[in-house]
Amino acid sequence: MLWVLLWVATPAFGSDLKADFNGDGVVDLNDFFLFAEHYGQSAGQPGFDAKFDIIGDSKIDQADFFIFAERFGGNG
């Protein structure tokens, strides 16, 4: 589990990963609620939406949540 935390914390992802899912210019609770609706889904499942797969690994999971949490309160 520790390696996941270190992997997600690295700056290798860049700033192009977006967490402002509703496009209002801020990452806030509205975005969190949208993210939570899709948490745990994988590509191919009904309702899967790739925009919530922040790191692009075909699943919406803890790694995506860590990036979302890092951007919470910001503008993207």
Chain segment 1-42, per-residue pLDDT in tens: 444 444 444 444 445 679 999 999 999 999 999 999 999 999
pLDDT value of position 49: 97
pLDDT in tens, 56-76: 999 999 999 999 999 999 887
Are 54 and 72 a contacting pair, CB within 8 Å?
no
18: tokens are: 């977006």
Is the pTM higher than 0.85? The answer reads: no
Residue 47 has pLDDT above 50, yes or no: yes
pLDDT value of position 76: 72
pLDDT value of position 60: 98
Which of 70, 61, 58, 73 is CA-nearest to residue 17? 70
